[in-house]
Amino acid sequence: MGVKNVSEVTEQTWKDEVFPEWGTWLNEEIERTTVPNNKFMMWWLVNMGVWIKTDKQTSIAIDLWCGTGKTTHDKPDMSPRHQWSRLTGGRKIQPNLRSQPMVINPFAIHNLDALLVTHFHHDHIDMNVAAAVLQNTPDTVPFIGPKYVVKQWIDWGVPKERCQVVKPGDTINVADIEISVTDSFDRSVLITDPDSDDLPDDATIPEMDDRAVNYVIKTDAGTIYDAADSHYSAYFAKHGQDFNIDVALVAYGENPVGVQDKMTSVDVLRAAESLNTSVVIPLHWDVWTNMLGNPNEIETLWKMRKERFDYKFHPFLWLPGGRFTYPDDQDKLQYYHDRGFEDRYSHPINLPYKSFL
């Protein structure tokens, strides 16, 4: 902190000192970690944001979002075309305050091989992240997403030649990572208008493939299925047949009354069983104050059901900012942050008497 006297403190010096809450701690951890052979590592960047790093040190970020939710009561009502207006018939703004600290500084990202986004909801695509990637990473880093994601980037000024439109059925390669693009089952995005002049009328069902995709990320050490904001779908079972999935990332949350948006705890288990994954990691439950999930519910339900249905998977309860290493952590049920103090007694203790202890 450069400020030494209260007379120098301003709202701006406070913001500069405190925000982002984790500073560059996680950026440094990701950048300084060398992933050993035959492993991959992931970091949870809040909401559906994940960083994946392979044993060839290839890094991709998916749905990295560094924004916020409501910050004031003084907002106009939702428009009649807002997805929650359409779904609930209400107009009152939802009290969705961001519930997590900013765990990564997008402007301190330097080593990235691709930025991928699953859909254009503004808790998945972020103008600040796009600007930071353009400013501080090589100009070879592609921006990858479905049609309306790319349209959003281009509208924000991302050069068209940096963008790559993908749709289900496509396969793309980022160094040693192969990414299969698959169907999304995100019914919420079907009632959300993208910034576009050619919007469908109310009775028309829009084309999902233009709006949202899921990604299957294949590394030498294992395969990750990113379901993004997909709702539960019976067709997860087809994806479970088509791909050999080790770890599935799914969107879980507590839906307010009148809203159907995120998978419930039992949906998470059904999705995991259908995807035939070894590990399922619920995400998205952490971020909105009005939709906070309790992932312990998933673990409890899993214990109730695993013998009866002979589950071959287990849930992994993660924390934002946390790391997951595959296969090392494949049998873990819960994550806890580094507890530190591993160098205890490397120097003599210095206390008046040991009975302090």
Interacting residue ranges for Fe ion, rule: CB under 5 A: 121, 123, 229
Instruction: Give min distance, CB of 63 to Fe ion, in A.
Output: 8
Instruction: Give min distance, CB of 167 to Fe ion, in A.
Output: 18
HSE of 83 in the Cβ direction (CA atoms, 13 Å)? 14
Residue carrying structure tokens 């949350």: 253
Going across the sheet that includes 171-174, the strands are: 171-174, 177-183, 213-219, 222-226, 247-251, 279-283, 314-315
3-state SS, residue 273: helix
Instruction: Give min distance, CB of 23 to Fe ion, in A.
Output: 25
Question: In terms of CB distance, is 226 or 273 closer to Fe ion?
Answer: 226
Residue 241's CB: how many other CB atoms inside 10 A?
11
Question: In terms of CB distance, is 229 or 246 closer to Fe ion?
Answer: 229
Report the distance separating Cα 277 and Cα 284, nearest Å: 19
Question: In terms of CB distance, is 256 or 327 closer to Fe ion?
Answer: 256
Question: In terms of CB distance, is 121 or 314 closer to Fe ion?
Answer: 121
Report the distance separating Cα 53 and Cα 62, nearest Å: 11
Instruction: Give min distance, CB of 103 to Fe ion, in A.
Output: 17
Residue 99's CB: how many other CB atoms inside 10 A?
17
Question: In terms of CB distance, is 124 or 218 closer to Fe ion?
Answer: 124
Q: Are 175 and 111 in contact (CB under 8 A)?
A: no
Cis peptide leading into residue 80 (ω within 30°): no
Question: In terms of CB distance, is 123 or 267 closer to Fe ion?
Answer: 123
Instruction: Give min distance, CB of 255 to Fe ion, in A.
Output: 13
Question: In terms of CB distance, is 251 or 272 closer to Fe ion?
Answer: 251
Report the distance separating Cα 229 and Cα 213, nearest Å: 9
* Helix and strand counts by DSSP (H, E) for the chain: 10, 14
Instruction: Give min distance, CB of 191 to Fe ion, in A.
Output: 11
For residue 356, give both structure tokens.
Answer: 């302090």
Report the distance separating Cα 138 and Cα 109, nearest Å: 11
For residue 355, give both structure tokens.
Answer: 């009975």
Instruction: Give min distance, CB of 61 to Fe ion, in A.
Output: 16
Instruction: Give min distance, CB of 211 to Fe ion, in A.
Output: 10
Question: In terms of CB distance, is 123 or 273 closer to Fe ion?
Answer: 123
